[in-house]
Structure 1
Amino acid sequence: MQLIDTLALVGEVLSWVGLGVGLPLLLLALLIRTVEGAWLPVEIAVIERDGSLIGRWFAGGDFHERPLTRRESAAADADDGWAEGVVSANNPAHARVGEPPHARRVILTLGIVFAGVGFAGLVVSLLPLLLS
């Protein structure tokens, strides 16, 4: 087996694995983006009611409120009365204190890396055809 043939075989394996994993991850990231929508920054007013912290925000032409989780309560500054947060563009009633969830970004990054490796493997697997 020649060096070119060996590289082509390795490239073909990388293309199958890379594209086989990368393309579904990219589709999953697109699906999550479609369902969640973009995350828009919003100011969330933090008030205390009955011993728990409540977050209130204005988005989508309406006021919304919900109790904050323990993690969000720790991140929110109750003394100041305001917290930085994000709200879903598709559902303004869905807000988070802090940064948007990282799952979509991780899935998108992994999809790009795997698809890139798969595409590079595809190009390498075509070397014997191009060099003959």
Structure 2
Amino acid sequence: MDAAEVVSIVAEVIGWIAFGGSLACLLLAMVIRMGDGRWLPTDAVVVDQEHGSTVRWFAEGEFHQRRLSAEERAHVVDPEEERAFYREREPDRLRLHEPPTGRRVIRIVGLILLAIAGAAGVLSVVLMLVG
């Protein structure tokens, strides 16, 4: 067995491991997205009233509003133009904080592993043809 064959075998093993890891990561990202949905950015306005604070936003061609808890109101920086995120399938749902980045990180790791698997597969095929 010469060096080209050994490198080809190692590249193929690394490729299969990376491919399996990428499938797992991408499937997990897909399951998280199906469960949590897609959150789109919007501008919201916080209105302070006697009975509490209300947040109002425009989404999917309609105006929406909901009450803010005291904890949520404490985190509002600019009541005139607060950055918020609404759920694409349910525009009545609103977050005043950015959606968690975990899904994005898992998706990026899955894509990197897929690229590694592709590069290892190409290297293995080239070394098999050359050797």
Q: TM-score, normalised by structure 1?
A: 0.75
Deviation of 1:10 after TM superposition, in Å, equals 1.5
The residue that corresponds to 1:40 in the other structure is: 40
Deviation of 1:110 after TM superposition, in Å, equals 0.5
Matched, 1:108 2:107: yes
Which deviations, in whole Å up to 9, do the C-alpha atoms of 1:91-126 show, x marking residues without a partner? 212222243331221111101111111111122222
Which deviations, in whole Å up to 9, do the C-alpha atoms of 1:64-98 show, x marking residues without a partner? 3143584x5454225x4431112121221222224
Question: Which AA in structure 2 matches 1:40?
Answer: L
**More displaced stretch, 80-89 vs 8-17:** 80-89
Contact 1:37/1:88, CA 8 A, preserved across alignment: yes
Q: How many residues align?
A: 130
Q: For the aligned residues, what is the CA RMSD?
A: 2.8
- Distance between the aligned counterparts of 1:69 and 1:12, measured in 2? 56
**More displaced stretch, 54-63 vs 113-122:** 54-63
The residue that corresponds to 1:26 in the other structure is: 26
Q: TM-score, normalised by structure 2?
A: 0.75
Q: Which runs of 5+ in 2 are unaligned?
A: none
Q: Percent identity at matched positions?
A: 30
Deviation of 1:36 after TM superposition, in Å, equals 4.4
Q: Which runs of 5+ in 1 are unaligned?
A: none
CA 54–3 in structure 1, closer or farther in 2 if over 3 Å, else same: farther
Q: Any residues of structure 2 matched to 1:58-77 within 5 Å, and which?
A: 58-60=58-60, 61-68=62-69, 70=71, 73=73, 75-77=75-77
